[in-house]
C-alpha cells in the first residue's frame, strides 16, 4: 500500500518530470487492422506544458519515438532519466499495462512519485489503489491539478488533502478530494509540450487528404473542450461535466501557424468533441484559418442534431470549415435502433445525416461516420438495415465500434449490480471498442464480429459506394490519391 505519498523535496530542487502514454491494444503489433488514426497523446502534452512552464526538466516517453518502441524500452529509458515525478496518461485499455510499467519503474526508482491521469483514472479515481503503485490519481482536466502537485513536491504548495481533483491512499483509505472547477479560459494555460518525433509519426487515417503517405506530421489541436450533450457511452460527461471551456481563435490559429513553421506539419486533428457546438465561434475560427492560408488540412468531429434530435449543423459552418482547410468532416450516426438510441440518450436523424453528407460532398470535403453495434436488442435484420442505410447515405469512410460501457461512464454506472450478468468481460484490456463487451439477446459475440465485417465488406464492395467514389473524385480530383490509398488499406484489411 502506497503510504507516504506526500511529495516533500528539498526547496527549489531542479525536479525532473517524466511523462508516459502507451498505445492502445489495437495499435500494437503489425496487424493494426482496426487502427484509424495515430495521434499525439494530447492530454499528456498539456501536462508536459505545465511542467515545462514551472521550469522542470520534462521528458516524454512514447512508442512513436524510435528509442522507445515498447514498454520495456520505455521502462528502461525512464529509469535512466531518474525523474522525481512520473506522470502516466492512460485509457481503460492501457490501464493495466500502464500500472505494470509503473511497477517496473517503482521497483528500480522507489522514490519516484507516480501520478496517473487521463480517461481511465479521470473517470475512475478509486482505481488509484490498483497495483499498489500509484501515489496520486488526477481526475478530470489535469493542468491546474498537476501544477499544484508540482508545487507540493517542492514543499511550497498545498498538502494533498487541499489539492482538488485528486485521489490517493492514506492509512489504507482512498481519499478523493473535491472536484476541481474547470479552467474556462484555456488561453491562460501553457501550450502543449510537443515532441517532434511523435508529431512526425502521427497520421490522420484511414481516408484523409492529404493522403497518409503525403502527410508530414499530424498535430492535435483543441479549440472547445468538453461536450454538454451527455451521451451515456461517452467519458466526456464524467471527465469534464457539461461545461464547455475554450481557447481563443487567435491562439488556435497561432498554434497551427507555429506547428507549421517549426515542424513543417501539413495535417491536423481537432480533438473538439463537437466542433459545431458554438457555430458562430467555430465559423470565426475557420474564417481566420482561411485568411492565414497555412496550407494545413485538418479534420474535425461535428454533430448534425441535438440531444432532442433538432438540426444544429449549419451549411455555413461546413462551408467555413472547408474554406479554412478542413478536408474531412466526421460525425456519429451511432445507432438508429430505437431502444439503443434511448439507452444511449443519443438520437439520430437519418434524413439530417443524409443532408449533412451531401453538403460535405458539395463543399468538397471527405466524410466519415461512426456507428456503434452491440446493443442487446439488435438483430440480424437490423444489420441488414444498416447496410441498406449506408448504401443510401454513402459516407466515404465508416468506423464501426462495439458498444463499450467504459468504467465511469453513465452507461457503466447504470449497469451497477447487474454488471456481471450483462457484460462478457470486465477485463480493462478488452475495452478497445473492437471487442464485444455486452451480452446480446439475439447475437453471439462471434456473430457480432462477423456482422461488423460483413457490413463493412458489403458496403465498400457495393455499386452504390463505387459509383459514389467515382463521382466524388470526378468532382474533387485532389481526392484521387486519398481514395487509392484507402482502397489499398481496405484490401489489406480484407474489407474489399
Ligand atoms: C483524440 C482521441 C484519440 C486519439 C489520440 C488519443 C491519445 N490521447 O493518445 C486517437 C485517435 C489515437 C485515439 C485512439 C483511441 N481512442 Co480515443 N479519443 C480521442 C478523443 C476524441 C479526444 C481525447 C483528447 O485528446 N482530448 C483532449 C485532451 C486535452 O484531453 P484529455 O485527453 O482528457 O486530457 C486531459 C485530462 O484527461 C488530463 N490528463 C490526461 N492525461 C494525463 C496524464 C497526467 C499525468 C495527468 C496528471 C493528467 C492527464 O489532463 C488533460 C488536460 O486537461 C476522446 C474523446 C473524449 N471524450 O475525450 C477519445 C477517447 C479518449 N478514446 C477512446 C478510445 C476507447 C480510444 C481507442 C481505444 C479506440 C481504438 N481502439 O481505436 C484508441 C486507443 C488509443 C490509445 N492510445 O490508447 C475513449 C477512451 C475511453 C476510456 N475510458 O478508455 C474516448 C474517451 C472516447 C469514448 N469512447 O468515450 N483516441
Residues carrying CATH 3.80.30.20, the chain = 203-492
Nearest to 196 by CA among 222, 216, 221: 216
- Other Cβ atoms less than 10 A from the Cβ of 382: the count is 19
Whether residue 464 contacts residue 472, with contact meaning beta carbons closer than 8 Å, is answered with no
* pLDDT above 50: residue 321: yes
pLDDT tens sequence across 63-99? 999 999 999 999 999 999 999 999 999 999 999 999 9
| Mean of pLDDT over the chain | 95
Q: What's the CATH code, domain 203-492?
A: 3.80.30.20
- List the Cα angle 407/45/17 in 5-degree steps: 100
The pTM (predicted TM-score) of the whole model is 0.96
pLDDT at residue 432, rounded to an integer: 95
* pLDDT above 50: residue 238: yes
Residues carrying CATH 3.40.50.280, the chain = 16-176
Nearest to 368 by CA among 247, 204, 129: 204
Whether residue 329 contacts residue 367, with contact meaning beta carbons closer than 8 Å, is answered with yes
* pLDDT above 70: residue 455: yes
- Other Cβ atoms less than 10 A from the Cβ of 54: the count is 17
What residues are in contact with ligand 1 under a 6 Å CB criterion?
21, 23-24, 26-27, 36-37, 39, 41-44, 46-47, 87-89, 91-94, 115, 117-120, 122-123, 138, 141-143, 146, 220, 222, 234-236, 239, 271, 273, 406, 431-434
The closest residue, in CA terms, to atom 11 on ligand 1 is 37
- Other Cβ atoms less than 10 A from the Cβ of 299: the count is 24
pLDDT tens sequence across 170-183? 999 999 999 999 99
**What mean pLDDT is predicted for residues 182-197?**
97
pLDDT at residue 350, rounded to an integer: 98
How many residues appear in the chain? 496
* pLDDT above 80: residue 8: no
Atom of ligand 1 nearest to the CA of 115: 45
Q: Which residues contact 278 (CB under 8 A, 6 or more apart)?
A: 224, 244
Whether residue 305 contacts residue 348, with contact meaning beta carbons closer than 8 Å, is answered with yes
Q: For residue 175, give the 3-state DSSP assignment.
A: strand
**What mean pLDDT is predicted for residues 188-208?**
97
> CA-CA distance, 118 to 120, in Å (whole number)?
6
Q: What's the CATH code, domain 16-176?
A: 3.40.50.280
For the chain, the 3-state helix, strand and coil shares in percent, each to the nearest 5, are: 45, 15, 40
* pLDDT above 90: residue 3: no
pLDDT tens sequence across 128-146? 999 999 999 999 999 999 9
Between residues 283 and 14, the one the model is more confident about: 283
pLDDT tens sequence across 416-448? 889 999 999 999 999 999 999 999 999 999 999
What torsion do the CA atoms of 74, 17, 199, 333 make, to the nearest 10 degrees?
A: 90
Amino acid at each position: 500500500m502506497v503510504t507516504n505519498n506526500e511529495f516533500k523535496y528539498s526547496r527549489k530542487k531542479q525536479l525532473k518530470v517524466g511523462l508516459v502514454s502507451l498505445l492502445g491494444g489495437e495499435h500494437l503489433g503489425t496487424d493494426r487492422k482496426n487502427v484509424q488514426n495515430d495521434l499525439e497523446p494530447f492530454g499528456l502534452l498539456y501536462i508536459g506544458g505545465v511542467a515545462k512552464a514551472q521550469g522542470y526538466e520534462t521528458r516524454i516517453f512514447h512508442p512513436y519515438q524510435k528509442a522507445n518502441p515498447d514498454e520495456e524500452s520505455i521502462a528502461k529509458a525512464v529509469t535512466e532519466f531518474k525523474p522525481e515525478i512520473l506522470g502516466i496518461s492512460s485509457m481503460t485499455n492501457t490501464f493495466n499495462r500502464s500500472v505494470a510499467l509503473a511497477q517496473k519503474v517503482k521497483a528500480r526508482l522507489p522514490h519516484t512519485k507516480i501520478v496517473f491521469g487521463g480517461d481511465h483514472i479521470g473517470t475512475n479515481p478509486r482505481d488509484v489503489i490498483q497495483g499498489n503503485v500509484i501515489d496520486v490519481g488526477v481526475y478530470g482536466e489535469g493542468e491546474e491539478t498537476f501544477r499544484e502537485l508540482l508545487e507540493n513536491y517542492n514543499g511550497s504548495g498545498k498538502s494533498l488533502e487541499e489539492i482538488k481533483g485528486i485521489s490517493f491512499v492514506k492509512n489504507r483509505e482512498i481519499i478523493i478530494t473535491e472536484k476541481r472547477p474547470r479552467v474556462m479560459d484555456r488561453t491562460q494555460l501553457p501550450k502543449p509540450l510537443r515532441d517532434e518525433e511523435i508529431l512526425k509519426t502521427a497520421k490522420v487515417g484511414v481516408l484523409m487528404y492529404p493522403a497518409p503517405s503525403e502527410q508530414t506530421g499530424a498535430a492535435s489541436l483543441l479549440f472547445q473542450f468538453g461536450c454538454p450533450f451527455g451521451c451515456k457511452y461517452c467519458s466526456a460527461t464524467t471527465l469534464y461535466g457539461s461545461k464547455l471551456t475554450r481557447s481563443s481563435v487567435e491562439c488556435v490559429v497561432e498554434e497551427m501557424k507555429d506547428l507549421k513553421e517549426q515542424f513543417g506539419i501539413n495535417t491536423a486533428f481537432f480533438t473538439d468533441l463537437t466542433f459545431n457546438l458554438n457555430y458562430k465561434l467555430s465559423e470565426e475560427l475557420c474564417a481566420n484559418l482561411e485568411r492565414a492560408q497555412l496550407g494545413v488540412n485538418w479534420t474535425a468531429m461535428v454533430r448534425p442534431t441535438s440531444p432532442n434530435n433538432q438540426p444544429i449543423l449549419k451549411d455555413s459552418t461546413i462551408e467555413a470549415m472547408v474554406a479554412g482547410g478542413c478536408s474531412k468532416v466526421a460525425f456519429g450516426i451511432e445507432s438508429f435502433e430505437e431502444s439503443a438510441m434511448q439507452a444511449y440518450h443519443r438520437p439520430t436523424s437519418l434524413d439530417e445525416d443524409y443532408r449533412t453528407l451531401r453538403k460535405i460532398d458539395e463543399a468538397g470535403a471527405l466524410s466519415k461516420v461512426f456507428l456503434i453495434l452491440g446493443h442487446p436488442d439488435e438483430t440480424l435484420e437490423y444489420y441488414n438495415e444498416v447496410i441498406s442505410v449506408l448504401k443510401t447515405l454513402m459516407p466515404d469512410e465508416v468506423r464501426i465500434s462495439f458498444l463499450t460501457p467504459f468504467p465511469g461512464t453513465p452507461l457503466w454506472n447504470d449497469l451497477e449490480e447487474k454488471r456481471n450478468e450483462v457484460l462478457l468481460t470486465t477485463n480493462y484490456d478488452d475495452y478497445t471498442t473492437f471487442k464485444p463487451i455486452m451480452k446480446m439477446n439475439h447475437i453471439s459475440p462471434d456473430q457480432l464480429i462477423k456482422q461488423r465485417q460483413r457490413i463493412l465488406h458489403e458496403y465498400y464492395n457495393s455499386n452504390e459506394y463505387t459509383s459514389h467514389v467515382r463521382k466524388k473524385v470526378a468532382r474533387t480530383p485532389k481526392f484521387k490519391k486519398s481514395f487509392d490509398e484507402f482502397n489499398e488499406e481496405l484490401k489489406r484489411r480484407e474489407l474489399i
